[in-house]
């Protein structure tokens, strides 16, 4: 290979790296009035990295052609945007979000007949009956038995020492999804978004699984229905990740 060909090859590689590795800059607006929206969470689902729009609605995020962006903001419909050449080329690109229309409905709150005295009110307010058991020697915060009954602890033991087939089928045979799971836990922007959400939408998009699969994973990992229904998305993410890490330890040959 002569020097001319070598120089051409170097220039081609540099050009390719510029094309495939760059930051996308755009502005998020309200579709109803074209005003910028600040604090919108923008996640690159392909590269698993997140940012937040500034006070002018602008954001900058690593992206390449055909990556998928996921935009989420309270009170607005979440959307997915495919990265095109136009988005990468122009820094004044606009992405619009549409406000959700909420119908106000009558809400009936069950009275607890509170008196203002702690000792009395503590007896009137219902307490969750879900309990967790810690297993010495395992790197875990504990296993949720669901209730304090004669079969609860045996249920925990069975869930630990039997293979978690459903979890393995979803993640064990897909290293890329496991890598994404770890990336999600390490990106503080994504964690910040998940800590404020309870709808599982972002988790579904990031993990590329159905919501029913998320619930099934947690049940196989012996989390109670109470936890599944009330935990925020970040708690769900940590529960799934922790469960899989324990599964790997217990099934290591």
pLDDT of residue 117: 56
Find out whether 69 and 44 touch, Cβ atoms under 8 Å: yes
Q: What is the mean pLDDT of the chain?
A: 75
More confidently predicted of 35 and 7? 35
Instruction: Quote the pLDDT of residue 220.
Output: 79
CATH topology of domain 21-126: Immunoglobulin-like (2.60.40)
Q: Is residue 79 scored above 90 in pLDDT?
A: yes
C-alpha to C-alpha distance for 201 and 150, rounded to whole angstroms = 36
- Are residues 209 and 200 in contact, defined by beta-carbon separation less than 8 angstroms? no
pLDDT at 22: 87
Note whether 245 and 139 are within 8 A (CB): yes
Q: What is the per-residue DSSP string for 202-217?
A: HHHHHHT--HHHHHHH
Q: Are 145 and 132 in contact (CB under 8 A)?
A: yes
- Burial class from Cβ neighbours inside 10 Å (0-12, 13-18, 19+) for residue 177 reads middle
pLDDT at 43: 95
- Whether the predicted pLDDT of 219 surpasses 80: yes
**pLDDT of res. 183:** 86
Greatest mean pLDDT among 4-13, 48-57, 142-151: 48-57
Average pLDDT over residues 105-117: 53
Nearest of 39, 26, 19 to residue 81 by alpha carbon: 26
Question: What is the distance of C-alpha 108 from the center of its chain?
Answer: 31
Q: Could you tell me which residue, 169 or 121, shows the higher pLDDT?
A: 169
Tell me what the mean pLDDT of segment 229-243 comes to: 89
Q: Would you say 220 and 166 are in contact if contact means Cβ atoms under 8 Å apart? A: yes
Alpha-carbon gap, residue 85 to 195, rounded angstroms: 33
**How many C-beta atoms surround the C-beta of residue 228 within 10 A?**
18
More confident call, 41 vs 144: 41
Kindly indicate the confidence band of residue 207, based on its pLDDT and cuts at 50, 70 and 90: confident
Quote the pTM value.
0.66
Residue 53 CB contacts under 8 Å (≥ 6 apart), including other chains: 27, 28, 36, 37, 38, 39, 40, 42, 59
Q: Model confidence at 135, in pLDDT bands (50, 70, 90)?
A: very low
Share of the chain above pLDDT 70, in %: 58
* Alpha carbon distance 247, 161 (integer Å): 9
Domain with CATH 2.60.40.1120 in the chain: 21-126
Residues in contact with 104: Cβ distance below 8 Å, sequence separation at least 6, in sequence order = none
pLDDT: which is higher, 92 or 84: 84
Is 200 in contact with 211 (CB distance < 8 Å)?
Answer: yes
């Amino acid at each position: 290979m002569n020097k001319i060909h070598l120089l051409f090859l170097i220039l081609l590689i540099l050009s390719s790296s510029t094309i495939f590795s760059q930051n996308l800059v755009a502005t998020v607006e309200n579709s109803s009035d074209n005003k910028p929206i600040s604090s919108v969470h923008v996640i690159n689902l392909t590269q698993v990295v997140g940012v937040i729009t500034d006070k002018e609605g602008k954001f900058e995020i690593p992206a390449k052609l055909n990556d998928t962006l996921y935009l989420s903001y309270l009170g607005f419909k979440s959307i997915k945007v495919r990265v095109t050449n136009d988005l990468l080329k122009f820094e004044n690109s606009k992405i619009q979000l549409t406000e959700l229309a909420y119908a106000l409905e009558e809400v009936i709150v069950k009275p607890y007949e509170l008196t203002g005295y702690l000792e009395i009110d503590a007896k009137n307010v219902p307490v969750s009956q879900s309990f967790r058991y810690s297993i010495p020697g395992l790197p875990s915060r504990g296993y949720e038995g669901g209730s304090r009954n004669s079969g609860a602890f045996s249920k925990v033991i069975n869930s630990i020492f039997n293979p978690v087939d459903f979890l393995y089928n979803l993640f064990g045979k897909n290293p890329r999804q496991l890598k994404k799971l770890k990336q999600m836990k390490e990106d503080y922007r994504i964690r910040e978004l998940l800590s404020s959400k309870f709808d599982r939408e972002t988790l579904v998009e990031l993990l590329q699984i159905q919501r029913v699969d998320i619930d099934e994973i947690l049940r196989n990992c012996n989390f109670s229905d109470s936890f599944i229904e009330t935990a925020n998305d970040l708690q769900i993410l940590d529960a799934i990740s922790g469960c899989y890490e324990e599964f790997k330890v217990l099934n290591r040959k």
